[in-house]
A and B are shown apart, each in its own frame.
Chain A
């Protein structure tokens, strides 16, 4: 589904991603962990071109998205992204947050989008918040709305960048539940997280990144129980 070949990214002289090649198959739930500043977010953001790769190619669903002639908006419509700080639109109601993109991109009419929003909100238990504004919600509620907003576009892949790290601990559970449900439905997911528990529960494969490289990868079971690379071992000993 996503094919990354020789991806490098520099900010000025700072080489953040160094020749990464990786394949993500349909239905996979890839969890990316690693120390802060190791390039996890940058890697994720390259996948939907929020960052422009310095070198290398990314192919999504057979389209080379790094091709300058690629229709970036069309591609992004099929890739949902959830941010650490939610990035809900504070100037709109929750309903409009969810329906704006499907309607403007002509994926749906307003009515269909409204119905979709209602159904999605019900699913995450927030249907009574449809007419509220983002500032009236708690962090956990905001993040569930952010997930729903991305889902309204019916994406083929969902990218999560530390979706729970800005949340109070008691709110993490509800967001993780939504993500687990999504995983069980077969959504292809790429999740950057610092939460080892959710990596185990949601992931079908764990990547460990350090210094712009993918140092090690394995199934969650193997990865956490028998880490091979010394860097992985020392990282896990610090966070577990």
Chain B
């Protein structure tokens, strides 16, 4: 007797009120994951979740680098010389954006982006990833600024004293070293983003939670789809944490060369 037949049998027992508790559990599990090949939907959700995370992190890193560069360039202008007014204005804008982003809940930001700014969008998953990316940019900018500032100022001085300009010194000396220092924090940011993509479902973006909730609505049974989604997130986070640890050990080894 195969699974499908067992399911049919026990489901009938259930409707008659004659099923044992473990038969009920099996039926609910079957409905949540197997009936109509629903596991495919979870898999699809995982795929979209991972892509949305990667897109959000990419946007976050690009914005973060941009904001960090503007803010450090602004702070490192030589005293005594006239300040660059364009840099001053751009820096002020960056500061305001960072304050707003860090000062409001992510969930509210996702709702505003999905229901106000891009209310007529047809791709809410992307709108959500974009929101997460912008949000992440504010945090990544601080991570990068921290990395740049943690570096011995003697490195910048040595580069400049050789006659290298600011950009070359940043490009060849400061950024490669800062990058190594911030990789662990970027890894953490990726994991935070991975979990936060679940918020995209509130504006109808299709990712893991969206599909899980769909199945809840079909089967009128919340436990297995939601606990299943939680377990999937947990497994993903554990995999990425493990990868991150491996990467960090690699980096530490290359320091000792």
A residues bordering B, Cβ < 8 Å?
Answer: 48-50, 52-54, 68, 73-81, 83, 85, 87-92, 100-101, 104-105, 133, 135-136, 149-150, 153
Contacts and interface: CB of A to CB of B under 8 A. Distances in A.
Contacts of B79: 52
B157 A50 contact: yes
- Of residues A52, A85, A92, A101, which shows the largest number of chain B Cβ atoms within 10 Å of its Cβ? A101
A153 B177 CA distance: 23
A135 B257 contact: yes
A92 B175 CA distance: 13
Interface of B: 78-82, 152, 154-155, 157-165, 168, 172-173, 176-177, 180, 255-257
Given A87-B152, A89-B155, A92-B172, 11 more contacts: A49-B78, A54-B80, A73-B163, A81-B158, A83-B158, A89-B159, A100-B164, A105-B162, A135-B257, A136-B257, A149-B162
A49 to B, nearest CB: 8
B162 A101 contact: yes
A105 B163 contact: yes
In the A-B complex, list the 4 residue pairs whose CB atoms are closest, starting with the nearest: A77-B163, A87-B158, A101-B162, A81-B161
B177 A85 contact: no
Given A52-B79, A91-B177, A135-B255, A76 B154 contact: no
A92 B207 CA distance: 43
A92 B159 CA distance: 13
Contacts of A80: 161-162
B155 A101 contact: no
Contacts of A73: 160, 163-165
Contact of A90 (B78, B159, B164, B177): B177
A91 B173 contact: yes
A87 B155 contact: yes
B160 A50 contact: yes
Contacts of B157: 50, 81, 83, 87
Contacts of B154: 83, 85, 87
A68 B158 contact: no
Contacts of B256: 135
A199 to B, nearest CB: 23
Contacts of B257: 133, 135-136
